[in-house]
Amino acid sequence: MTSFILGKVDFDEVRLAADVAALRDLEKGKEAYDEFTSGFWKNVPLWNESGDARDGMFKDVDSPAKPTEHTAAVPYLTEVIGETFAVEHLTMVRGRDIVDASMMPHKDFLELDGKATDQFRVLMVLEDNEATFNSDEEKVFRMRKGEVWFLDAAGVHCAANFSADSRVSLCLDFSFDKPFVPADVFASSDRYIPGLEPLLIKRKPLPDGFAVDMRRIAAACTRHNFRDIAFGLAKLHFTYDVPAADCYEWLVEIAECTDDAAIVAKAERAKDFYVVDRAMHERFSFTAW
Ligand SMILES: [Fe+2]
């Protein structure tokens, strides 16, 4: 099942604006998943397993999430979430703000003991930003304000905001211990409105000779800029019609054209970590050699 729109929320614009401003003002805590992102990427835990606002780690838990102290700053969103969603299945809610930011394409849930199919990730965008895009294994799309999306986080996915304007959203995680359907994330089944038309981004075919030309980047590739090259390659699928995960093949090819075995090892390790296999609490660094 790839990403699709589950439904739509019509916001009270005045109350929403106050909560979006409050989310923007909340302090950026220690980021649990730094190696996945570049640029300004703030996750504010609003509900989680412990109720501790400093705990940003995603876990596979059965019990419903507890509100953190940050929910006091967003009373309207707290109401919207309670009215819209089946909160008894919520395991985490994060308020998210991204500015001039991108991420490495990756699969989530690789590190969990349980099945990724028990997890259901929902994104709800709180403001429009024409330079912010998401992708999954099939498409690039732009989420619009009020849309409630299922994000196929078990497959390779990615996101970027190519502007200096912030884009605030909510990331809601649901977990089920028995078979479920997408409508089950809502408080009532009439909130589930499948079939809404997504805003898909048309991409260009990859230029002829790209694979050969791209290897020339190796001439400028050093340990100091390897991270920049990786994040740069990761952005290409937003323009060209190629799978997001292809950036790892290119990264390995470029690395193999350098004379540095550590760069080759780093490229291969990156691919494994982001899209193949990852242990709980395992970290990766593009900058430690
Ligand atoms: Fe993710």
Q: In angstroms, rounded to a whole number, what is the distance separating the alpha carbons of residues 92 and 57?
A: 9
| Shared domain check, 23 and 93 | yes
Last residue of a domain, one of 153, 173, 200: 200
The whole domain housing 251 covers: 210-276
Last residue of a domain, one of 147, 167, 200: 200
In CATH, what number is assigned to the domain containing residue 214? 1.10.1720.10
Instruction: Kindly give the distance from the C-alpha atom of residue 98 to the centroid of ligand 1, in angstroms, as a whole number.
Output: 14
| Shared domain check, 53 and 35 | yes
State mean pLDDT over 271-289: 92
Instruction: Kindly give the distance from the C-alpha atom of residue 42 to the centroid of ligand 1, in angstroms, as a whole number.
Output: 14
| Shared domain check, 127 and 226 | no
Instruction: Kindly give the distance from the C-alpha atom of residue 107 to the centroid of ligand 1, in angstroms, as a whole number.
Output: 6
Instruction: Kindly give the distance from the C-alpha atom of residue 153 to the centroid of ligand 1, in angstroms, as a whole number.
Output: 5
Instruction: Give the pLDDT confidence score for residue 4 in this predicted structure.
Output: 97
Over 70: is that where the pLDDT of 170 sits? yes
State mean pLDDT over 255-264: 97
| Shared domain check, 62 and 175 | yes
| Shared domain check, 66 and 121 | yes
Instruction: Kindly give the distance from the C-alpha atom of residue 198 to the centroid of ligand 1, in angstroms, as a whole number.
Output: 20
| Shared domain check, 99 and 19 | yes
Assess if residue 283 is contained within a domain: no
Last residue of a domain, one of 138, 172, 200: 200
Asked if 38 and 101 touch (Cβ cutoff 8 Å), the reply is yes
State mean pLDDT over 162-166: 97
For residue range 194-237, what is the model confidence (pLDDT) as tens digits? Answer: 999 999 999 999 999 998 999 999 999 999 999 999 999 999 99
Assess if residue 101 is contained within a domain: yes
Instruction: Kindly give the distance from the C-alpha atom of residue 109 to the centroid of ligand 1, in angstroms, as a whole number.
Output: 8
By the 10 Å C-beta count (0-12 exposed, 13-18 middle, 19+ buried), 125 is classed as buried
Instruction: Give the pTM.
Output: 0.93
Ramachandran assignment for 209, one of left (phi > 0), alpha (psi -120 to 50 degrees), beta (any other)? left
Domain count, the chain: 2
Instruction: Kindly give the distance from the C-alpha atom of residue 269 to the centroid of ligand 1, in angstroms, as a whole number.
Output: 18
| Shared domain check, 252 and 150 | no
Q: In angstroms, rounded to a whole number, what is the distance separating the alpha carbons of residues 116 and 12?
A: 34
Instruction: Kindly give the distance from the C-alpha atom of residue 257 to the centroid of ligand 1, in angstroms, as a whole number.
Output: 30
Asked if 5 and 65 touch (Cβ cutoff 8 Å), the reply is no
| Shared domain check, 128 and 45 | yes
For residue range 95-131, what is the model confidence (pLDDT) as tens digits? Answer: 999 999 999 999 988 887 666 668 899 999 999 999 9
| Shared domain check, 176 and 222 | no
Kindly indicate the confidence band of residue 29, based on its pLDDT and cuts at 50, 70 and 90: confident
Select the more confidently predicted residue: 133 or 51.
Answer: 133
Kindly indicate the confidence band of residue 89, based on its pLDDT and cuts at 50, 70 and 90: very high
